[in-house]
């Protein structure tokens, strides 16, 4: 991965909550105690580099005082050589002979033949290793760890395979690659020299029993996590109207959503290995009814809510779960499409023509572009001195030699194609429905009825996924006035009618509780003008 030079995209300091989160992740992935990690870091300044490799992979490298310690690739964390030299036993170690060692610089993957050395150590360690297991590689002659990688085939398959030329191990980081040279050896040359001299006295490899126990612990924890998330999904997410539901949809959309933040749920790391095997267990324990068709399609046809395990689940025992169930997520977001005219800016951040970006992403990329080419005015940092690319984009302006950062972001946003996506919270459908076009705003109007009585009318609520019955009750209790739900001819969405002039209350309810952006509301500004 770091065989060739990589480009640093950004560098930021890690402080406060982010630093605590990173430390907790390192302790979890590498089985270290908080005290051990704190002693190792010794209050060093932590930074995160976002780099782009020669294969266009984006990797996050976490450094302590400019020394790389761990890197994140495809949402998984791996140690650098400096980290694994400091803690040799955080991952299983496999031995390489001289032929395998010579392949590290020329190939990014090792074959089964290269991993099968004459040393008996590899045989008993491989038997307990699953696929995707991170391993370190050392030489037969000494305990010097020379590479970090992960298995692409499980250990038993490597032992039993007759195809010795098949690839089985992906090498991510090795001794003397660009990461080691630029962010380890060059930063602490004296420390590295001392550590290399001590490798001959390094402790022996862990025995088979220890690794087997570690792997079994991981499997048990993953089994428990899968069962917990599945039970919550069955009780709180799957409604009767949604059945039958595909097994794959149930797992990806509902089970995974209950996985705690920072925890990875992987069905392959459980004892079941396959989702069908796990669902058959739930069927046997009478939690669900499973149907497997003749062409192999697996569906859940019924959820048996009377099962004791489902009955024992209680959201009150888990405040985070209860909050998650009650929380209303805003269903509308704006997406902008990268146009050919703006490609020179966004191509700097690996965006292509037609890619969809949110407003925060546009703001972030434009700001990074300004900093990269040092376009900020020295006397006024809020002003940008335009280069040739920006002048071409701003050709319609009379004076395009300078512009404020805020106006520049607005101008770029105006030049992009906009699409508003609304997500409907309809329980009768299996998946959420998306509408890629402009949608009507929520309208709040005050009308006069007979006897000069005023009523507030709210339209298009259901278009934004709002439960109209629940909303009318909240208005009724909030303003102590009667509410009515009206069916409007030739309209798909119903109307809520509230007695009295209640626009300010409705506005506050929609923005505070339902998190509807103000730009999708109409009628409140008219109420202000009347005042």
Q: Rounded mean pLDDT of the chain? A: 80
How buried is residue 396: exposed, middle or buried, by Cβ count under 10 Å (0-12/13-18/19+)? exposed
pLDDT class for 216, splitting at 50, 70, 90?
A: low
pLDDT class for 358, splitting at 50, 70, 90?
A: confident
Buried (b) or exposed (e) across 204-222, using 16+ Cβ within 10 A? ebbeeeebeeebeeeeeeb
Provide the percentage of residues in the chain whose pLDDT is more than 70.
81
On the CB side of 65, CA atoms within 13 Å amount to 10
Secondary structure (DSSP) of 479-508: HT--EEEEPPTT-SS-EEEEES--HHHHHH
Please give the model's pTM, rounded to 2 decimal places: 0.40
Radius of gyration of the chain (CA): 29
Q: What is the mean pLDDT of residues 27-56?
A: 85
Using an 8 Å Cβ cutoff, are 95 and 117 in contact?
Answer: yes
Tell me: the pLDDT tens digits for 494-526? 899 999 999 999 998 988 888 788 888 888 887
Tell me: the pLDDT tens digits for 419-478? 665 444 433 333 334 445 566 789 999 999 887 889 999 998 877 778 888 899 999 999
A 10 A CB-CB count for 69 gives: 24
Short-list 318, 314, 361, 322, CA closest to 342: 361
Domains, in order of start, for the chain: 7-206 (3.10.400.20), 214-312 (1.10.10.2030), 334-418 (1.10.245.10), 440-530 (3.30.780.10)
pLDDT at 319: 44
For residue 364, pLDDT beyond 80? yes
| DSSP β-bridge partners for residue 446 | 456
For residue 81, pLDDT beyond 60? yes
pLDDT at 330: 52
């Amino acid at each position: 991965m770091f065989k060739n030079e990589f480009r640093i995209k950004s560098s930021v300091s890690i402080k406060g909550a982010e630093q605590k989160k990173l430390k907790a992740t390192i302790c979890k992935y590498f089985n270290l105690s908080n005290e051990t990690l704190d002693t190792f870091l010794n209050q060093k300044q932590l930074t995160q580099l976002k780099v782009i490799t020669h294969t266009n992979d984006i990797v996050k490298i976490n450094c302590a005082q400019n020394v790389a310690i761990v890197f994140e690739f495809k949402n998984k964390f791996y140690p650098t050589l400096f980290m694994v030299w400091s803690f040799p036993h955080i991952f299983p170690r496999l031995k390489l002979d001289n032929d395998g060692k010579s392949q590290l610089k020329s190939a990014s993957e090792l074959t089964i033949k290269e991993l099968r050395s004459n040393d008996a150590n590899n045989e008993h360690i491989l038997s307990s290793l699953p696929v995707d297991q991170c391993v370190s590689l050392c030489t037969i002659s000494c305990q010097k760890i020379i590479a970090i990688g992960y298995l692409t085939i499980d250990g038993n398959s490597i032992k039993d395979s007759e195809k010795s030329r098949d690839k089985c191990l992906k090498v991510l980081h090795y001794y003397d690659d660009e990461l080691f040279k630029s962010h380890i050896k060059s930063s602490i040359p004296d420390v590295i020299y001392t550590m290399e001299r001590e490798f001959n006295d390094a402790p022996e490899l862990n025995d088979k029993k220890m690794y087997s126990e570690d792997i079994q612990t991981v499997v048990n924890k993953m089994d428990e996590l899968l069962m917990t998330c599945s039970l919550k999904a069955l009780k709180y997410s799957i409604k009767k109207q949604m059945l039958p539901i595909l097994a794959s949809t149930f797992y990806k959309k509902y089970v995974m959503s209950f996985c705690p933040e920072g925890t990875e749920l992987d069905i392959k790391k459980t004892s079941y290995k396959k989702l069908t095997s796990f669902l058959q267990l739930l069927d046997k324990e009478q939690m669900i009814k499973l149907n497997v068709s003749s062409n192999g399609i697996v569906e859940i046809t019924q959820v048996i809510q009377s099962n004791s395990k489902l009955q024992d689940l209680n959201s009150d025992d888990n405040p985070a779960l209860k909050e998650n169930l009650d929380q209303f997520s805003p269903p509308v977001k704006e997406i902008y499409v990268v146009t050919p005219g703006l490609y020179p800016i966004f191509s700097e951040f690996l965006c292509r023509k037609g890619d969809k970006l949110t407003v925060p992403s546009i703001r972030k990329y434009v700001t990074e572009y300004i900093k990269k080419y040092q376009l900020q005015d020295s006397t006024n940092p809020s002003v940008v001195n335009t280069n040739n690319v920006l002048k071409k984009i701003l050709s319609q302006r009379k004076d395009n030699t300078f512009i404020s950062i805020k106006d520049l972001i607005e101008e770029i946003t105006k030049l992009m194609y906009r699409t508003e996506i609304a997500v409907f919270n309809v329980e009768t459908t299996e998946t959420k429905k998306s509408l890629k076009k402009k949608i009507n705003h929520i309208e709040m109007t005050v009308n006069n009825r007979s006897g000069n009585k005023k009523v507030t009318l709210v339209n298009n609520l259901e278009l934004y996924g709002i439960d109209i019955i629940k909303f009318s009750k909240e208005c009724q209790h909030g303003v102590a006035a009667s509410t009515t739900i009206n069916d409007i001819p030739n309209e798909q969405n119903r109307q809520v009618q509230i007695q009295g002039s209640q626009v300010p209350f409705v506005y506050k309810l929609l923005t505070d509780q339902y998190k509807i952006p103000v730009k999708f509301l109409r009628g409140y500004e008219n109420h202000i003008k009347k005042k």
